[in-house]
């Protein structure tokens, strides 16, 4: 069971939900797919061990073989190769690593070299038993998706994977959420929260991933998010109140399930609820290891 | 001498377009005769690498000088490798830009002066 915790708007509480959710489930895998600024470990404080470097294959041109025919330049959708009157120039940061230039070159002048763009790290939380995986995109690197894909390769089909998604609705979010069994959208009850929630709902629906909403800082804004969810038939899975104790724990980097045991129970029933919804949708998921209250 | 000015329109009275990679038109002007050719920027709305395309397009026209507002890092390296003189202009018409170039009042673009968008 792979569950993405996403949102349209940044700062709504994705990481808070993802970390507390994974800790409450226990024996789960937690993935920080927000590789441009991973922050789950601020709340876990684990010693991380590097698992692998993430690279993409970028072209290298053998200038002796190159006939300046321009086939590679014409092929490259991302304008990563340019032809000049007497040479060809490559822009590795524009390259998406598809390898097409290598295939279309009639002179066999293009080889591929690996360009490191990020890395994957892992840590285990002895208290809860969760395994934590974090992707980090190198500074100045524009493409997050290859790091996210490598991160997803560490998912264990036999475990629950809780995935902290990047914010927004662009490529990194698609790469993260597209592979999931369920998507939780965390929002706040404000007009801004609602606006970005609608954008995110439209994206997740196109990806055909079932979704539900968690309203964070509930009680701080208005009812527009709830009204929207009712009208769109979107389940509101949980409401996290605008609560001083939760805010204080957050500011100290402490996951609130560790100090507020009632929330551990709430997150465990959230998991059961998601399993129930998924089984209704596909009848292929079962919740193992968690007492069924539904 | 062939001078390329990035322009919003397609003649010498058109306003200068300050964005190199994503301008509307390239006006390639013969500075002796003031004859000109307007070339549409077909990659102006490319999701990435618009500057790379634009640089190839104008280099292919055999220009000696480029007058524009800003040049990103990828386009800059292409133009620099072909020894194309890059000059900065902030507004006015194409005609005025060329006159300013002739009078030597335009500043050179010696480093990329736009962050560009390195592609996503």
Task: Please state the pTM of the whole predicted model.
Answer: 0.81
Q: What per-residue confidence (pLDDT) applies to A292? A: 38
Reported as a single tens digit per residue, the pLDDT across A215-227 is 999 999 999 999 9
The percent of residues in chain A predicted with pLDDT above 90, rounded, is: 91
Mean per-residue pLDDT over chain B, rounded: 91
Q: What is the DSSP string of A154-181?
A: T--TTS-EEEE--SSSSHHHHHHHTT-S
Distance CA A215, CA A225 (A): 8
3-state secondary structure of A281: helix
Distance CA B80, CA B75 (A): 8
Q: What are the residue boundaries of the structural domains of chain A, listed by start?
A: 2-53+118-282, 63-108
Q: Is the pLDDT confidence value at B117 over 90? A: no
The gap from C-alpha A253 to its chain's centroid, in whole angstroms, comes to 21
Q: How many CA atoms lie within 13 A of A251 on its CB side?
A: 6
Q: What per-residue confidence (pLDDT) applies to B116? A: 60
Q: What per-residue confidence (pLDDT) applies to A291? A: 39
Facing residue for A142 by CB, picked from B46, B52, B120: B120
Reported as a single tens digit per residue, the pLDDT across B43-100 is 777 778 899 999 999 999 999 999 999 999 999 999 999 999 999 999 999 999 999 9
Q: What is the DSSP string of A216-240?
A: EEETSS-SHHHHHHHHHT--EEEEE
The fold of the A63-108 domain, in CATH, is Alpha-Beta Plaits (3.30.70)
Q: Is the pLDDT confidence value at B115 over 80? A: no
Is A91 in contact with B120 (Cβ distance < 8 A)? no
Q: What DSSP state is assigned to residue B8?
A: S
User: What six digits make up the tokens of A264?
Assistant: 């551990």
CA distance B52 to chain A (A): 6
Mean pLDDT of A261-273: 97
Is A142 in contact with B118 (Cβ distance < 8 A)? yes
The 3-class SS string of B42-78 reads CCCCCCCCHHHHHHHHHHCCCCCEEEECECCHHHHHH
> With an 8 Å Cβ cutoff, is A171 touching chain B?
yes
Distance CA B103, CA B63 (A): 19
Q: What per-residue confidence (pLDDT) applies to A282? A: 61
Q: How many CA atoms lie within 13 A of A16 on its CB side?
A: 27
- Rounded-to-10 torsion of CA A79, A84, A90, A94: -20
Q: How confident is the model at residue A43 (pLDDT cuts 50, 70, 90)?
A: very high
ipTM: 0.82
Same fold for the domain at A2-53+118-282 and the one at A63-108?
Answer: no
Contacts with A127 (C-beta within 8 Å, 6 or more apart), sequence order: none
Q: How confident is the model at residue A278 (pLDDT cuts 50, 70, 90)?
A: confident
What's the N-to-C CA distance of chain B in angstroms?
37
Burial of A183 (0-12, 13-18, 19+ CB in 10 A): buried
Q: What per-residue confidence (pLDDT) applies to B45? A: 74
Pick the CATH number of A2-53+118-282 from 3.40.1390.10, 3.30.43.10, 3.40.50.300, 3.30.70.1380: 3.40.50.300
Distance CA B114, CA B120 (A): 17
Which residue in A131, A237, A181 sits closest to A4, CA to CA? A181
- Calculate ∠ Cα A51-A52-A55, nearest 5°: 160
**Domains detected in chain B:** 2-108 (3.30.420.130)
Is B56 in contact with A73 (Cβ distance < 8 A)? yes
Q: Is the pLDDT confidence value at A45 over 80? A: yes
Is A73 in contact with B43 (Cβ distance < 8 A)? no
Q: What DSSP state is assigned to residue B15?
A: B
Q: What per-residue confidence (pLDDT) applies to B120? A: 37
Q: Which of A36, A78, A79, A84 to mutate to test the interface with B (most CBs of B within 10 A)?
A: A79
């Amino acid at each position: 069971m792979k569950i993405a915790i996403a949102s349209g708007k940044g700062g709504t509480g994705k990481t808070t939900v993802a970390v507390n959710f994974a800790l409450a489930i226990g024996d789960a895998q937690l993935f920080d797919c927000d590789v441009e600024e991973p922050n789950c470990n601020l709340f876990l404080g684990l010693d991380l061990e590097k698992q692998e470097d993430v690279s993409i294959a970028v072209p290298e041109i053998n200038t002796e073989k190159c006939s300046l025919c321009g086939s590679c330049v014409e092929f490259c959708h991302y304008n990563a190769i340019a032809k000049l009157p007497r040479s060809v120039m490559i822009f590795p940061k524009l390259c998406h690593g598809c390898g097409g230039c290598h295939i279309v070159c009639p002179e066999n002048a293009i080889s591929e070299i690996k360009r490191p763009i990020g890395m994957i790290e892992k840590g285990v939380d002895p208290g809860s038993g969760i395994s934590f995986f974090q992707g980090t995109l190198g500074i100045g690197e524009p493409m997050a998706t290859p790091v996210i894909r490598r991160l997803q390769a560490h998912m264990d089909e036999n475990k629950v994977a809780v995935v902290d998604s990047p914010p927004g609705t662009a490529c990194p979010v698609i790469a993260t959420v597209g592979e999931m069994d369920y998507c939780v959208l965390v929002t706040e009850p404000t007009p801004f929260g609602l606006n970005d929630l609608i954008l995110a709902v439209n994206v997740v629906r196109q990806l055909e991933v079932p979704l539900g909403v968690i309203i964070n800082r509930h009680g701080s804004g208005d009812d527009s998010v709830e009204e929207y969810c009712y009208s769109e038939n979107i389940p509101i899975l949980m409401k996290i109140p605008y609560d001083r104790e939760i805010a204080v724990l957050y500011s100290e980097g402490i996951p609130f399930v560790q100090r507020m045991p009632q929330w551990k129970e709430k997150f465990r029933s959230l998991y059961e609820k998601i399993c129930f919804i998924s089984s209704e949708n596909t009848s292929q998921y079962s919740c193992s290891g968690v007492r069924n209250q539904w | 001498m062939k001078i390329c000015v990035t322009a919003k329109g397609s003649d010498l009275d058109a306003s200068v377009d300050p964005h190199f990679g994503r301008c509307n038109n390239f006006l390639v002007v013969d500075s002796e005769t003031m004859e000109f050719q307007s070339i549409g920027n077909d990659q102006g709305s490319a999701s990435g690498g618009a500057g790379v395309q634009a640089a190839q397009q104008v280099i292919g026209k055999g220009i000696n000088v480029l007058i524009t507002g800003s040049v990103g890092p990828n386009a800059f390296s292409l133009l620099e490798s072909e020894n194309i003189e890059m000059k900065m202009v902030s507004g006015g018409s194409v005609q005025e830009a060329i006159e300013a170039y002739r009078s030597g009042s335009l500043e050179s673009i010696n480093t990329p002066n736009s962050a560009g968008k390195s592609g996503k």
